[in-house]
Amino acid sequence: MKSSYNDIFSRFLNKIRDYEFAGLPEPNATEQMREWLQSALSHTYIYRIFDSFSADDEIAEMEYTLSSSVDDYSDKNFVEELLSNAMVVEWISPKVKSTTNLNHMITNSKEQKFYSQASHLAQLREVSADAENKVRSILRDKGYIYNPYLGNV
Protein backbone atom coordinates (compact mmCIF):
# COMPACT_ATOMS: atom_id res chain seq x y z
CA MET A 1 0.00 0.00 0.00
CA LYS A 2 1.26 3.50 -0.80
CA SER A 3 0.32 6.91 0.58
CA SER A 4 1.51 10.27 -0.56
CA TYR A 5 2.74 12.78 2.00
CA ASN A 6 0.49 15.34 0.30
CA ASP A 7 -2.60 13.24 1.05
CA ILE A 8 -1.66 13.12 4.73
CA PHE A 9 -0.72 16.82 4.79
CA SER A 10 -4.06 17.71 3.22
CA ARG A 11 -5.95 15.86 5.95
CA PHE A 12 -3.76 17.49 8.60
CA LEU A 13 -4.38 21.00 7.25
CA ASN A 14 -8.13 20.37 7.37
CA LYS A 15 -7.84 19.68 11.11
CA ILE A 16 -6.05 22.88 12.17
CA ARG A 17 -6.56 26.63 11.87
CA ASP A 18 -3.17 28.27 12.24
CA TYR A 19 -2.88 31.55 10.36
CA GLU A 20 0.75 31.97 11.39
CA PHE A 21 1.58 28.59 9.84
CA ALA A 22 -0.52 29.39 6.77
CA GLY A 23 1.66 32.47 6.19
CA LEU A 24 4.85 30.43 5.85
CA PRO A 25 6.37 29.98 2.39
CA GLU A 26 5.35 26.63 0.89
CA PRO A 27 8.81 24.97 1.11
CA ASN A 28 9.10 25.90 4.80
CA ALA A 29 5.56 24.71 5.58
CA THR A 30 6.14 21.43 3.74
CA GLU A 31 9.41 20.84 5.59
CA GLN A 32 7.71 21.55 8.94
CA MET A 33 4.87 19.14 8.11
CA ARG A 34 7.41 16.49 7.08
CA GLU A 35 9.09 16.85 10.48
CA TRP A 36 5.74 16.53 12.27
CA LEU A 37 4.98 13.41 10.21
CA GLN A 38 8.35 11.85 11.04
CA SER A 39 7.80 12.63 14.73
CA ALA A 40 4.36 11.05 14.58
CA LEU A 41 5.76 7.92 12.96
CA SER A 42 8.44 7.56 15.63
CA HIS A 43 5.89 6.76 18.34
CA THR A 44 5.96 3.05 19.15
CA TYR A 45 2.19 2.77 19.47
CA ILE A 46 1.86 4.02 15.88
CA TYR A 47 4.87 2.31 14.33
CA ARG A 48 3.83 -1.10 15.69
CA ILE A 49 0.71 -1.26 13.49
CA PHE A 50 2.88 -1.89 10.43
CA ASP A 51 4.30 -5.23 9.29
CA SER A 52 6.52 -3.36 6.88
CA PHE A 53 7.14 0.33 6.41
CA SER A 54 9.37 2.54 4.29
CA ALA A 55 9.24 6.24 3.58
CA ASP A 56 10.99 8.19 0.85
CA ASP A 57 11.22 11.92 1.60
CA GLU A 58 12.52 12.70 -1.89
CA ILE A 59 9.38 11.50 -3.65
CA ALA A 60 7.22 12.26 -0.58
CA GLU A 61 5.65 8.83 -0.44
CA MET A 62 5.45 5.96 2.00
CA GLU A 63 4.89 2.29 1.37
CA TYR A 64 3.56 0.02 4.10
CA THR A 65 1.71 -3.11 5.04
CA LEU A 66 -0.55 -3.09 8.08
CA SER A 67 -0.37 -5.88 10.63
CA SER A 68 -4.13 -6.42 10.50
CA SER A 69 -5.07 -5.42 6.98
CA VAL A 70 -8.73 -5.01 6.05
CA ASP A 71 -8.59 -3.96 2.40
CA ASP A 72 -6.53 -1.45 0.42
CA TYR A 73 -9.07 1.38 0.57
CA SER A 74 -9.72 1.04 4.32
CA ASP A 75 -6.05 0.61 5.13
CA LYS A 76 -5.05 3.72 3.17
CA ASN A 77 -7.77 5.85 4.78
CA PHE A 78 -6.99 4.50 8.24
CA VAL A 79 -3.25 5.24 7.98
CA GLU A 80 -3.76 8.71 6.52
CA GLU A 81 -6.34 9.64 9.16
CA LEU A 82 -4.22 8.25 11.98
CA LEU A 83 -1.07 10.05 10.84
CA SER A 84 -2.84 13.35 10.22
CA ASN A 85 -4.25 13.24 13.76
CA ALA A 86 -0.83 12.31 15.13
CA MET A 87 0.57 15.33 13.29
CA VAL A 88 -1.95 17.51 15.15
CA VAL A 89 -0.44 16.23 18.41
CA GLU A 90 3.04 17.16 17.17
CA TRP A 91 1.78 20.57 16.00
CA ILE A 92 0.13 21.49 19.32
CA SER A 93 2.91 20.19 21.59
CA PRO A 94 5.32 23.14 21.11
CA LYS A 95 2.47 25.58 21.70
CA VAL A 96 1.90 24.09 25.15
CA LYS A 97 5.61 24.07 25.96
CA SER A 98 6.21 27.59 24.66
CA THR A 99 8.57 29.90 26.54
CA THR A 100 6.04 32.66 25.93
CA ASN A 101 3.57 30.83 28.16
CA LEU A 102 6.20 30.14 30.79
CA ASN A 103 7.60 33.67 30.83
CA HIS A 104 4.19 35.20 31.49
CA MET A 105 3.61 32.86 34.41
CA ILE A 106 7.03 33.36 35.97
CA THR A 107 7.75 37.06 35.41
CA ASN A 108 4.30 38.64 35.54
CA SER A 109 3.51 40.26 38.88
CA LYS A 110 -0.16 41.06 38.22
CA GLU A 111 -2.43 38.42 39.68
CA GLN A 112 -5.11 38.93 37.03
CA LYS A 113 -2.82 38.12 34.10
CA PHE A 114 -1.30 35.19 35.98
CA TYR A 115 -4.65 33.48 36.21
CA SER A 116 -5.51 34.39 32.64
CA GLN A 117 -2.24 32.88 31.43
CA ALA A 118 -2.74 29.83 33.63
CA SER A 119 -6.20 29.40 32.14
CA HIS A 120 -4.78 29.72 28.63
CA LEU A 121 -2.11 27.12 29.37
CA ALA A 122 -4.72 24.78 30.85
CA GLN A 123 -6.80 25.12 27.70
CA LEU A 124 -3.77 24.36 25.51
CA ARG A 125 -3.04 21.28 27.60
CA GLU A 126 -6.65 20.18 27.23
CA VAL A 127 -6.48 20.57 23.44
CA SER A 128 -3.23 18.60 23.42
CA ALA A 129 -4.73 15.82 25.57
CA ASP A 130 -7.80 15.68 23.31
CA ALA A 131 -5.58 15.32 20.24
CA GLU A 132 -3.59 12.51 21.87
CA ASN A 133 -6.79 10.76 22.95
CA LYS A 134 -8.13 10.99 19.39
CA VAL A 135 -5.04 9.19 18.04
CA ARG A 136 -5.25 6.50 20.68
CA SER A 137 -8.99 6.02 20.16
CA ILE A 138 -8.45 5.53 16.40
CA LEU A 139 -5.89 2.82 17.17
CA ARG A 140 -8.04 1.26 19.91
CA ASP A 141 -11.18 1.18 17.79
CA LYS A 142 -9.43 -0.49 14.85
CA GLY A 143 -7.88 -3.04 17.20
CA TYR A 144 -11.26 -3.77 18.74
CA ILE A 145 -13.24 -3.96 15.51
CA TYR A 146 -10.67 -6.01 13.55
CA ASN A 147 -9.43 -8.31 16.30
CA PRO A 148 -8.69 -11.84 15.03
CA TYR A 149 -8.88 -13.28 18.57
CA LEU A 150 -12.49 -12.15 18.83
CA GLY A 151 -13.33 -13.47 15.36
CA ASN A 152 -13.91 -9.97 14.03
CA VAL A 153 -11.76 -10.23 10.91
For residue range 28-59, list pLDDT tens digits in order.
999 999 999 999 998 888 888 898 999 998 99
Helix (H) or strand (E) holding 63: strand 61-66
Please tell me what DSSP assigns to residue 148.
G
**pLDDT band at residue 153, thresholds of 50, 70 and 90?**
low
Q: What is the pLDDT of residue 102?
A: 59
In terms of pLDDT, which residue wins out, 8 or 151? 8
The ranges assigned to domains in the chain are: 2-150
Please state whether beta strands 50-56 and 61-66 pair in parallel, antiparallel, or not at all (unpaired): antiparallel
Q: What is the pLDDT of residue 94?
A: 83
In terms of pLDDT, which residue wins out, 126 or 143? 126
Ramachandran assignment for 135, one of left (phi > 0), alpha (psi -120 to 50 degrees), beta (any other): alpha
pLDDT tens readout for residues 76-131: 999 999 999 999 999 988 877 776 665 555 555 555 454 566 777 777 788 888 88
Q: What is the pLDDT of residue 112?
A: 47
Least confident of 18-22, 31-35, 141-145: 141-145
Average pLDDT over residues 137-143: 79
- Any residues with CB less than 8 A from the CB of 89 and at least 6 apart, and which? 40, 128, 131, 132, 135
